[in-house]
Amino acid sequence: MKDIKSLEQLANRNRRNIIQMIYNAKAGHPGGSLSVIDMLTAIYEIDVDFNSEKRSKVILSKGHAVPAQYAVLHSKGKIKDEELNSFRTVDSRLQGHPHTLDIPETDATTGLLGQGLSIAVGMAIVKKNNNEKNHVYAILGDGEMQEGQIWESLLQAAHYKLDNLIVVIDYNKLSSSGAVNEVINLEPLTEKLRVFDFYTIEIDGNNMQEIVNALNEAFTVKGKPIVIVSNTIKGKGVSFMENNPKWHSGALTEKEYEKAIEELDKAKEEII
């Protein structure tokens, strides 16, 4: 496994590729892609071995954040350099949401919010029945926590004691409709999940050390599904995008693109 600084450098490089993809496409969802990229970078580096036939799976339920997943798959050699520039273009494998027929390594076709956890629960049940020792990750957006299907799946996961299921909630507090908790209040979120009989871990989801610690803790849990409440900043890493609901989705101007790249290049220099 890479050390913390190497993971931070990799996450920064993945951020740069997110911005590059969305700028070239003139469309995409930068805010939620940037908030979740630290967690995705760590999960794939620590617990996804593409050389293994029976490996851990990652279900990106918040499928609109697929630029983050593509950036990580690029870092793992599953997407070529030139292909990143084809994001959201006609006939590209890199569609606006994960599509397993084009890229099997995305593990699930997602985009209709609320469905990814159901898929992950089913996969986790199969792995448990087959005595597989790896994990299934469900990466959820906080906005989709307002979907009823999510809470049904949480009940099912606890009932079957799916200790191979790791749910990650990218809790950046903003959705396409504004502040998440002004639309439908999720709080007290961590306490609710604990009452649902999940082993709960709450962290700063943009802090790589806390992410790695949380994953290592999750790997020790027996008899309960795990949830990591990952408090993040929407648009993390690009100053004018951070905590700005405008950047849930949208295109960057040339000036905005240049500023974003400049900031990320500066951040790279500061990771020592």
How far is 238 from 7, CA to CA, in rounded Å? 18
Amino acid at 5: K
Paired strand residues for 169: 140, 229
Please give the mean pLDDT across all residues of the chain: 97
Q: How confident is the model at residue 106 (pLDDT cuts 50, 70, 90)?
A: very high
Residue 71's nearest CA partner among 110, 34, 100, 111 is 34
Three-state SS letters, 121-186: HHHHHHHHHCCCCCCEEEEEECHHHHCHHHHHHHHHHHHCCCCCEEEEEEECCEECCEEHHHHCCC
How far is 245 from 73, CA to CA, in rounded Å? 27
Specify the 3-state DSSP secondary structure of 52.
coil
How far is 9 from 135, CA to CA, in rounded Å? 25
What secondary structure does DSSP assign to 55-83, as a single string?
Answer: --EEEESSGGGHHHHHHHHHHTTSS-HHH
Angle between helices 4-25 and 254-270 (to 10 degrees): 170
Find out whether 65 and 113 touch, Cβ atoms under 8 Å: no
Three-state SS letters, 226-253: EEEEEECCCCCCCCCCCCCHHHHCCCCC
Taking only the tens place, the pLDDT of each residue in 163-197 is: 999 999 999 999 987 899 999 999 999 999 999 99
Percent of the chain with pLDDT over 70: 100
Taking only the tens place, the pLDDT of each residue in 237-249 is: 999 999 999 999 9
pLDDT of residue 90: 94
Taking only the tens place, the pLDDT of each residue in 113-148 is: 999 999 999 999 999 999 999 999 999 999 999 999
pLDDT of residue 272: 76
Residue with the two structure tokens 């699930």? 108
Q: What's the average model confidence in pLDDT over 76-82?
A: 95
Cα 176 from chain centre:
17
Angle at 234 between CA 40 and CA 229, to 5 degrees: 55
